[in-house]
Structure 1
Amino acid sequence: MKVVALKLKDEDGHIDYLRQAIIDKELGMIGEFPKREKNRQISILSERIRNLIDEEEFEGLCLFRFYENITIKDLEVKNIEIGQRLQIGETVQEVTAIGKRCFKECKLIQSGETCNLFMNVIFTKIIKSGFVKIDDKVVSLPSTDRFISNK
């Protein structure tokens, strides 16, 4: 697994694509506005799901306004568990939630279709601060490890 995109929303509401980001244990992604909840500091989506969302013509309420902070190539959400830790670049992040709540007024949900965000978004809290860059490896940590070298 590796990082293929980094995004944040600035104070003006623009989504910026970054080559690298500073991710802080207390503040989440530096420059992100508004700040996310403490247990949902970072949002993560697989590259496969991002491509599906971008290529299809869905009418989901949040598909066009949702953005993930980190897009990861070869991420299989079905293999991720709440409480699992991931080393992403220099950071260590703990998975706190899997899936995004849907809005009842969403046309996609009302039509009975399944939203690609429903069980494919991961939210994390930061355990160890550091830099994350495009092409950084993503490593699932054994529960006994604090972190491993990125080299």
Structure 2
Amino acid sequence: MVVEATLERPADALDTTVRVTTDEGSAYLVAADGGGPLTLRAVAAGDTVTVGGPGVEPSGPDTDGTVALDDVDEVHVEVYVATGPASGYSYQIVFPVERGADGTLRALSPTVERCPVPTRCVPQGWARRRPTAAST
């Protein structure tokens, strides 16, 4: 199962960090580019979900953007965009997953919210879920 999202960022964004979290753990990544649209791809297969994209790199040597998945789990991808020394905003991409009796992963439609402040998130539409042979 693949979920893709392209998130808008200003061309002069100072920094962009990505955190992917499940019930089983978390991983951190950073965008190595300067700004502009950021495309992320989450691939859930087997017992893991891996998040990455063009110009997105793991934040340390002990991670590759992969996090373990439980049989029933909720994947949270939070992207923080720093626009100044003490300013920025975040995006939250959330999709619940469930492993069927046949071992196939299924997900509800992913949602995307833009959060100008941490307590005020506004829906931005949906990320795209691309069916694969294992999820149809």
Task: Name the TM-score class by shorter chain.
Answer: under 0.3
Q: TM-score, normalised by structure 2?
A: 0.27
Q: What TM-score, normalized to structure 1? A: 0.26
Structure with more contact order per residue of length (Cα contacts < 8 Å, sep ≥ 6): 1
More strand by share: 2
